[in-house]
A and B are shown apart, each in its own frame.
Chain A
Amino acid sequence: MKEKSPILEVSDLQVNRSNSVVIEHANFTIHRGDYVGLVGPNGGGKTTLILAILNIIPRTKGIIRLFGQDIKSFSDWEKVAYVSQNAINFDPQFPLSVRELVALGRVNRSNLGRTLKRADWKAVDDILEFMGISDVADRRIGQLSGGQKQRVFVAKSLVRKPEIILLDEPIVGVDAETQEKFYKKLSDLNIEKGITILLVTHDLTAVFCRMSKVMCVNRLVNVSEITESLKPEEVLREAYGDHFHFVFHKHECKRVFKDE
């Protein structure tokens, strides 16, 4: 079997915030096409790790390489998409339609100072269709429901056809049916389009049913390949502690996710 190329390489990473260590001794590699669930207790450092990978907050020590380049000198940001935890907390009075907001995802360094072309708007309409939000395309973003807002921001991140997408709890507070549809969309993106996905989530069933790797983060970072022989409870206890109890049976996936 052909070895998948590495997209994200992290070596001996340490990240401090407000003079305290949040992440330390992190060593892992994410390969092209991986679908990784980032799990761990609140305050364990999941968001800090994502922000360090994106060079939004500085690393204290160690190496982060994206597409083979050191993060400090990395410039191919068009290949990377990110949906933050706070994306939907925008000013509701901001005068933007859904279509205009998603189109902002096509604005980058390569088309600086040029108007968006017909192909860009076609990509916007295609992604709105893909995410199932074409019907609200002309609505103001402040008038959307929570679930619609989250799908709009994911659409904005996907519209420039990234190679890796980092999602920080993008579907908090969304009903079960919307969640199911959302996970199906991400699986389609991963399988059909080969997009590498890092998803911060508390939905452990989704991680073990849908994803190829699980990354447990609680100051330390452990990455495990999800295989038939993997025992989820053992892996998760490294992050959540010995008191943690999670019973998982693979056959539950069929019941939870109807598309399987």
Chain B
Amino acid sequence: MTTSILSSTNMNASGFSKMNELIDVFRLFGFQFFQNALLGGTITALACAWVGLFLILRKEAMIGDGIAHTAFGGIALGLFLGINPLLTSLLVSVLAVLGISYMRQKGLAQSDSAIAVMLAVGFSTGLIIISLAGGFNVELFSFLFGSILTIDQTDLIIVSILGVSTLIILGIFYKELLSITFDEEGARLMGIPVRLLSLAFNLLVAITIVLSIKVIGVILVVALLVLPALSALQLNLSFKGTTLAAIIFGILSMTTGILLSAIYNVATSGVIVFTAAAIFLFTATYRKLE
């Protein structure tokens, strides 16, 4: 369950003066759990913003939502078997990506239909496992809605490894992915392995979603993928500029969300998304006025 930073450290904000409140907020940075939350959140926001920009430009934003819901089945499986749910959800998400690619390649279903099938199968698998286990209550709730403030060292290591790996792979193949995203046929003519890189990109989407689950939960992960990139696209910048802006907006949403949720004692994932939505509103208004 999402926990307020102030309440979790037995500090009631309402009892302090404004100055004391400010000092308390600064003191938070000295706590290990808060440092973990900021580090995990920043890595996640960075990966989500970069992957999300490509997803939007490829017009595949809904694959993020589909895989996130499929990952729910993996979480339930992990809790049922007593394995770290992030690892089982990673396995299930990768299988979902491969399933979607297979259905598209074999002509069994269009992209949106394939995503819908995987979403339904993954989510219903999760429901069956939960009913068999008699419910997981609080633990499952934290994966549905995120609980970044309770992120432990093991989860932080998993999030860091997955996040940094995603960023490195994106950094290495970013020009090829851009080429495929802009003109797939042209990229194929240049000898770029389009099918292989598209599959690799979808696997990165699955990894990014899994590392976001602990931060923001499966329900809202698509917001972290879409909103920072969408905000950056309002600014009419070059690709490099848009990527940087998306990353800045993602990290800004994440850190502001974590801090505000601590100060006002509200759900962290909700505030992160709300901040990201506010940035989108601001940039969209700027574009209209420009």
Contacts and interface: CB of A to CB of B under 8 A. Distances in A.
B182 A96 contact: yes
Interface residues of B, number: 26
B238 A97 contact: yes
B172 interface: yes
B9 interface: no
Given A95-B238, A107-B179, A109-B193, 12 more contacts: A82-B189, A84-B185, A84-B186, A93-B233, A95-B242, A96-B239, A99-B238, A100-B240, A107-B178, A107-B190, A108-B191, A109-B191
Contacts of A20: none
Contact of A56 (B178, B185, B232, B239): B185
Nearest to B242: A95
A117 B51 CA distance: 24
Interface of A: 54, 56, 75, 77-78, 80, 82, 84, 87, 90, 93-97, 99-101, 103-104, 107-110, 112-113, 115-116, 138, 140, 160
A77 B57 CA distance: 26
Interface in B124-141: none
A-B pairs with lowest CB-CB distance, top 4: A109-B191, A97-B238, A95-B242, A108-B190
B175 interface: yes
A94 B176 contact: no
B239 A78 contact: no
A109 B182 contact: no
Residue from the set A75, A95, A109, A115 with the largest chain B CB neighbour count within 10 Å:
A95
Contacts of A96: 182, 238-239
Contact of B173 (A94, A109, A110, A113): A113
A54 B188 CA distance: 11
A100 B181 CA distance: 13
Given A96-B238, A112-B176, A115-B175, A77 B182 contact: no
Contacts of A113: 172-173, 176
A75 B189 CA distance: 9
A169 B190 CA distance: 21
Residue from the set B57, B182, B190, B191 with the largest chain A CB neighbour count within 10 Å:
B190
A29 to B, nearest CB: 22
A90 B59 CA distance: 13
B192 interface: yes
B236 interface: yes
A109 B192 contact: yes
A113 B239 CA distance: 18
A104 B191 contact: no
Contacts of A54: 189
Given A100-B239, A113-B172, A94 B182 contact: yes
Contacts of A115: 175
Contacts of A99: 238
Contacts of B241: 95
Contact of A82 (B176, B182, B186, B233): B186
A112 B174 CA distance: 10
B281 interface: no
B120 interface: no
Interface string B186-217: 11011111000000000000000000000000
A97 B173 contact: no
B182 A104 contact: yes
A142 to B, nearest CB: 8
Contacts of B239: 95-97, 100
Contacts of B238: 95-97, 99-100, 138, 140
Interface in B159-176: 172-173, 175-176
A80 B189 CA distance: 8
A138 B236 CA distance: 12
Contact of A104 (B57, B173, B179, B232): B179
Nearest to B59: A91
Residue from the set B178, B232, B238 with the largest chain A CB neighbour count within 10 Å:
B238
A93 B187 CA distance: 20
19 contacts: A54-B189, A56-B189, A77-B189, A78-B190, A93-B233, A95-B237, A95-B238, A95-B239, A97-B238, A97-B239, A99-B238, A104-B175, A104-B179, A108-B190, A108-B192, A112-B192, A113-B172, A140-B238, A160-B190
